[in-house]
Structure 1
Amino acid sequence: MNPYQYNTKQAWKVVLIIIAATIGIASLVYSNYLVKSLSQSERTKAEVWAMSTRSIMTMPDVDDEFISFVYAVRDSLTLPAIITDEKDNIIFWRDLDSTKTNIKIEDSTKTNLEYDPSYFQRELIRMKSAHKPILLNLENGEKWSVYYHDSKALRNLKIFPFIQLSLIAIFLVIAYYVFNSIKRSEQNLVWVGMAKEAAHQLGTPISSLMGWIELIKIKFDAEDDQVVNEMERDVTRLEIVADRFSKIGSKPALTNYNVYEVINNFVQYFKIRTSEKISFQIVGETHVEAMLNVPLFDWIIENLLKNAVNAIDTEGTITIVIKENIAKEEIFIDISDTGKGIPKSNFEAVFQPGFTTRQRGWGLGLSLTKRMVRYHKGQIFVKESEVGKGTTFRIVLKSNLNYEPTQV
């Protein structure tokens, strides 16, 4: 997968997120429209209730049929409401907590309203903050103010879209995680099967090659021949590669090794198989030790060195710096090259399976490298890079590990 393909894949994810966000926003907008419509309807009801209450409390004697109609209109309101005079004295209320209110009927013409003052003040403040008051002008010059707050149905409708979207988002996140886990598990099984089969297939020809090399040494008395010895080293290397693949999906043992010695041994093998125009330097502390599986750790270093070599057009330098952070019991291994560099936007993408800048690359090297570093309970990341000047990868290992190894 080249950067264009990777970016296209990322673009599709962004498009799907935008579509999901659009649906969510549309839901919120429509719910807001319903809330405004219902809110306007409730205000109209509050106005009708206010005027009917004023009529009942101020109108002269009228026939029973009309007064019954007015009472029916007033009692049809189901909103909590309070009427106050110009001095904020409470004149009447509707649908408040019955445990905090009490109505005494002293006689047939006078009603004395008793209530919990602190409760009513809290409710009045709450209603004032919820809506503008409805003003009523009486014939005697007095002015009443009617306050109310939303019904329970309207309050629930306001928060329902957020609850709904939250539940949908949680469901989608869980579903995405589950499906990704299943997909990764299936991919891991395929890769493990392919790796073990490759190791099995390599076993027979490698054994044969070792036998042929021994025959060449005996027949041509070539025990000290440099070419034959290098051939033997390469076949031994093939054995190590086969062993690597056979360990995928298992839990290889970790042993305490000197980090400098392990890296130096591999670099000495690697550099004579690389262009003479590329120089290698290993600097830093030579005494630090870490828990390593050498075949897998060599694979980590090999992948990083190959990437560094490919990044250098003709000639350049690859530098490996080994440092110890004693306070945190960590070892830093910085592998730097003087190659073409990596854009900052691709610092994370380079570790994604399938990401490559080469036309014939599979894009698996750094992905496998990151996985093997994690097996060593370490981290790997692009420490720094500048296009046209080079890149530095940093591996962080624990210098004192006591843990059960995880699956490769």
Structure 2
Amino acid sequence: MIQSWLNWKTGLVLMATGIVIAVFFYSQYLSQKLETEERKKVDSWVEAQQTILNSNDGNNLALASKISQENTDIPIIETNEKDSVTGNYLNIDSAAIAANHNYLQQTLQKFRKQHQPIVVVLKEHPYQANKYYYGRSFLQQQIRYYPIVFLLIVALFIALGLLFIQTSYHSRQNQLWAGMAKETAHQLGTPVSSLQGWVAVLKETEAYLPFATEIEKDVNRLQLVTDRFGKIGSTPQLEQKNITEQIAHMVDYMKKRAGNHVSFHFHHPSHDVVTTISPPLFDWVIENLLKNSLDAMEGKGSIEVTLQQQDKKIMIDVTDTGKGIPAKNINKIFQPGFTTRKRGWGLGLTLTRRIIEQYHKGIIYVKWSEPGKGTTFRIVLG
């Protein structure tokens, strides 16, 4: 169990997580250190301001002026003992103040939340004082937000990496299924051709003609399956077809093979519904859905196929009264290899989705399903 987690992917994830955590804590350390230094700078600036106001010593004035002028990045607002702005401020956007008369008050409220003010008592009786509220410098803000920006960049790269891996995986998976389908078609081609020849020989003998006719139907069916597999992975030839006739043909075909305990109902508009499809592949889709419904009903129940046209959208619903699909499996049924039957490869619905989405640019999904009551698959074309 532990060894299964110890691979290079897990190592990369742990390394990336460690780097992000290290950057976050180091940024916080630098931010706190810079905040302490900025507090000292504001203290020095306030003392310099008091010296400029109260001192007559030229040397002290020169030093105080120099200290006062060196602060070019920390924003400061001066208020009186009642927290009213005196009009003395530093490194505040003058254009913003001119455009918004509440800008100073709004900025003052923000500074109150960031730092405790520096208070300079001017008189004890009556009490007079100046308070100096200050905010964060631009550098301080950059350091505080750097971990967030860094985390977003890392998350973006991880998301792009996962998307690339997923796309690459699906591409390889599609190539695998296409290769398997083509190889199956290739392997079936030779015996099917041979069987067609033997059917032609049997037809020449009148006594064998009834048997040859039935065998020919099955051989033609095998040829159709071979053609379908051969089209997987290739660009199919699309044609304008009346899909009402296409669906009706497949419903009739499955009705003859379903037995007397299954009823079929096909609801469709009175006018022809024409769209662009690959007839052999579209027939395969309808056949797969009908077979899926028959398997779900275990030989007894009802299947309804409904064809609707709304503007340019064509919707085909296949509803059965079978055992339904548990909610936990609805997102899995189109995945390769997933099946609830004891026999089968679990490729029917996977190929169905591939045909609809990749070749016909439509969508297929489970519209409704309830265990014990049935399931509705919906195809949307157009």
Query: C-alpha offsets along residues 165-208 of structure 1, whole Å, 9 cap, x if unaligned?
Result: 22222222222223333333333333333222221111110011
Check conservation: 1:312, 1:338, Cα contact below 8 A: yes
Check conservation: 2:239, 2:277, Cα contact below 8 A: yes
Q: Whole-Å Cα distance in 2 between the matches of residues 344 and 18 of structure 1?
A: 34
Q: Whole-Å Cα distance in 1 between the matches of residues 201 and 226 of structure 2?
A: 23
Q: Whole-Å Cα distance in 1 between the matches of residues 47 and 235 of structure 2?
A: 82
Partner of 1:50: 46
Check conservation: 1:213, 1:232, Cα contact below 8 A: yes
Fraction of identical pairs, as percent: 40
Q: Displacement, 1:266?
A: 2.3
Query: C-alpha offsets along residues 59-83 of structure 1, whole Å, 9 cap, x if unaligned?
Result: 5x6795x778777776775623243
Q: Displacement, 1:32?
A: 5.2
Match of 1:337 among 320, 340, 344: 320
Partner of 1:130: 110
Check conservation: 2:79, 2:132, Cα contact below 8 A: yes
Q: Displacement, 1:292?
A: 2.3
Partner of 1:241: 225
**Match of 1:280, SS?**
strand
Q: Whole-Å Cα distance in 2 between the matches of residues 118 and 153 of structure 1?
A: 25
Q: Whole-Å Cα distance in 2 between the matches of residues 22 and 126 of structure 1?
A: 39
Check conservation: 1:379, 1:396, Cα contact below 8 A: yes
Q: Whole-Å Cα distance in 1 between the matches of residues 345 and 23 of structure 2?
A: 43
Partner of 1:313: 298
Query: RMSD of the TM alignment (CA)?
Result: 3.7
When the two structures are superposed, what TM-score results if normalisation uses the length of structure 2?
A: 0.79
Counterpart amino acid of residue 47 in structure 1: D
When the two structures are superposed, what TM-score results if normalisation uses the length of structure 1?
A: 0.75
Asked if 1:80 corresponds to 2:75, the answer is yes
Query: C-alpha offsets along residues 355-408 of structure 1, whole Å, 9 cap, x if unaligned?
Result: 33234443322121112112223221111111110001111223xxxxxxxxxx
Structure 1 window deviating more from structure 2 (41-50 vs 196-205): it is: 41-50
Check conservation: 1:333, 1:396, Cα contact below 8 A: yes
Q: 1:52 to 1:321 in 2, by over 3 A?
A: same
Partner of 1:397: 381
Partner of 1:294: 279
Q: Displacement, 1:164?
A: 1.5
Total equivalences in the alignment: 361
Q: Displacement, 1:56?
A: 4.7
Counterpart amino acid of residue 81 in structure 1: I
Q: Whole-Å Cα distance in 2 between the matches of residues 120 and 198 of structure 1?
A: 75
Gaps (5+ residues) in structure 1?
1-12, 101-115, 399-408
Check conservation: 2:246, 2:279, Cα contact below 8 A: yes
Higher relative contact order (CA closer than 8 Å, sequence separation 6+): 1
**Match of 2:151, SS?**
helix
Query: C-alpha offsets along residues 238-296 of structure 1, whole Å, 9 cap, x if unaligned?
Result: 11111112222222222222223222222333333334433322232353222222110
Partner of 2:183: 197
Q: 1:174 to 1:46 in 2, by over 3 A?
A: same
**Match of 1:249, SS?**
coil
Gaps (5+ residues) in structure 2?
1-8
Partner of 1:39: 35
